[in-house]
Amino acid sequence: MNNWQQILSNQGQIARKAARALAITPTTIKNNALLAMADALEHNSDEILQANKLDLQQGEKNGLTKALLERLSLNPARIKDMADGIREIAALPDPIGEVTGISKRPNGLEVGRVRTPIGVIGIIYESRPNVTADAAALCIKAGNAVILRGGEEALNSNRLIAATIADAAVKAGLAEGAIQLVDSEDREAAVYLMKMHDYLDVLIPRGGKGLKAAVMENATVPIIMTGMGNCHVYIDQYADLKKAAPIVMNAKVQRPSVCNAAEKLLVHEAVAEQFLPDMIKELRAAGVSIRGCKRTRKIVSDVIPAVDADWDEEYLDLILAVKIVDSLNEAIDHINNHGTGHSEAIISENYSDVRQFMSAVDAAAVYANASTRFTDGNVFGFGAEIGISTQKLHARGPMGLPELTTTKFIIYGDGQIRQ
């Protein structure tokens, strides 16, 4: 066993012990720990920013794209947002111990279910160091120990953030080892984490195609796949075009490097000639590179030709592919064939078209006349989020506290025996 494999195994043993303690930790102690974690982040803001500066400098040397550097970057406002996000989680109701239903059987047994922690959660993620704080806080509030493995591009940032919040949590009364970081750039360390079935109860990956493929190939622990976002905005023939343009701009431009940003624009042929010239002009003025189908290029001739691969690509950048469709049904079929099940939007004033779109599109979040950028645990009222689940079992969409719990049956009797 390699040295780092032994380290990970030791971390798993410590996390398992911590998880048992966390499962019965009172809400007040968990909340006090979260508030201490938030205060510590703000107190150590300068040191965290210095560590992040090192990551950004190394990222530029390594040729990271502007979009990835933006995801990696921290500033005082983002650190404050991280701290405030933890405080919001502390203010949320504790899901642990919630009885989700109880009924009395004819034999007198009372059968119910109660929410309990999952146990030890492993999280593998890329680029965004704020995930370190968000994920740890959510896991702690839901009574879980967490082992974090961020991307090598953010190792300095993650190392300092994790140390800051872990130390604060222990000083506030949480079990040692409740928050741990895999402090290794070796990708084999991530693969080993995927196979730690003796210690991990679930693994949650947050990242691109490469990470998802590696997890699917190597994981021997249960996984909750969180979302790549090949998100679409469809402009229906009954759209209010004055309403549509700001929605498209926000969905694409407001923060293009995140998974709920729009990557594709579908436009009904009935409004394409009226809508696209000004829309494309406005997008280009914001720095967006447009790729279009043949019909789009007949309307705006200097658009870059879209290729088949474009319809499945998550750009995470100021790039947008545009396709003209003949009908609502064609738009729905295109989304269901090429989307990733994340977030999809229709812009329409027609009630029937909206209802059909909302019903037929297969995605975790489906919008009518609003930007896809709202798919976010904080926006939905969950505090922070652990990720956007695009699968259909256990959790789907933004994963807040309830999605980090499981249930067990509780049965109250009075001497009953089975005949």
Give 115-163 as a DSSP string.
EEE--EEEEEE-S-THHHHHHHHHHHHTT-EEEEE--GGGHHHHHHHHH
Kindly write down the DSSP assignment for every residue of 12-54, as one continuous string.
HHHHHHHHHHHTT--HHHHHHHHHHHHHHHHHTHHHHHHHHHH
C-alpha to C-alpha distances, 297 to 125, 275, 314, 324, nearest whole angstrom: 38, 14, 22, 10
Predicted confidence pLDDT, tens digits, the chain (419 residues): 678 889 899 999 999 999 999 999 999 999 999 999 999 999 999 999 999 999 999 999 999 888 788 889 999 999 999 999 999 999 999 999 999 889 999 999 999 999 999 999 999 998 789 999 999 999 999 999 999 999 899 999 999 999 999 999 999 999 999 999 999 888 888 899 999 999 999 999 987 778 888 888 999 999 988 878 999 999 999 999 999 999 999 999 999 988 999 999 999 999 999 999 999 999 999 999 999 999 999 999 999 999 999 999 999 899 999 999 999 999 999 999 999 999 999 999 999 999 999 999 999 999 999 999 999 887 887 767 788 888 887 888 888 899 999 999 999 999 999 98
Whether 3-226+386-412 shares its CATH topology with 231-374 is answered: no
Domain positions in the chain are 3-226+386-412, 231-374
CATH node for 3-226+386-412:
3.40.605.10
Q: What is the pTM of this model?
A: 0.84
Q: Quote the CA–CA distance of 188 and 7 in Å, as a whole number.
A: 13
CATH architecture classification, 231-374: 3-Layer(aba) Sandwich (3.40)
**Sole residue written with tokens 């998802």:** 212
